[in-house]
Amino acid sequence: VTLADRPFMWSPNRFPFELASAAYALDSADGQTCPLTSALTIGPAYFRTMGAKILSGREFDEGDRAAGPPVVIVNQKFADESWSGERPLGKRLRLFHGTEPEMWLTVVGVVSNIAQNDSSPPRLDSLIYLPFAQRPAADMWVLARTGGPPEGLEAAFRHEVQALDPDLPVYGPLPLTRR
């Protein structure tokens, strides 16, 4: 079980970004000239739940809290496009919120590419993953991998989420196979 700020069948949010090794400018007259990347805020065990593999480095861990150093995991496509031929671990990047740069993020892992969009057929986009503990979002989706057909688990899943907070709205559940 894990969390994500968007289910995998919705396209992730896109943000302008810059690499520590390259300078870009934001041009308020015609929008950003920085490249854009898709970003997803995730909880622990996201990659295991989604069937992705850590190719190098590590997953987010207990040290990746709000008070800890800001970290990011990138997918293989982002790594190849941003640091072709270089090792991405330890590299830094930052997102922009409007025209304001955010804190520098250090790459701690590279994960296999996962289709994280609603195109048909799904395409493999350049993507970064941010830890929920460092970037909490108001709206999160609970994702779970089951050992059998998920349809029989909907009532139990709803019950467990409501047990956390009876005022917490539950939409679905929707098996990810029903997209």
20's tokens: 């520590």
The mean pLDDT of the chain is 84
In DSSP terms, which residues pair with 54 in a beta bridge? Answer: 111
Q: What percent of the chain has pLDDT over 90?
A: 46
pLDDT at 176: 64
63-91 mean pLDDT: 96
In this structure, what is the dihedral angle of CA atoms 10, 13, 18, 21, given to the nearest 10 degrees?
A: -30
Taking 50 as the threshold, does the pLDDT of residue 127 lie above it?
yes
Q: What is the pLDDT of residues 7-33, one digit of tens each?
A: 766 667 888 999 998 755 555 444 447
- Closest CA relative to residue 76, chosen from 48, 57, 94: 57
Are the beta carbons of 5 and 130 closer than 8 angstroms? no
Whole-prediction pTM value?
Answer: 0.85
Residue 109 has pLDDT above 90, yes or no: yes
pLDDT tens-digit map of 20-76: 987 555 554 444 478 889 999 999 999 998 889 999 999 999 999 999 999 999 999
pLDDT(177) > 70: no
Q: First vs last Cα of the chain: how many Å apart?
A: 19
Q: What is the pLDDT of residue 178?
A: 46
What percent of the chain has pLDDT above 70? Answer: 84
**3-class SS of residue 157:** helix
pLDDT at 53: 96
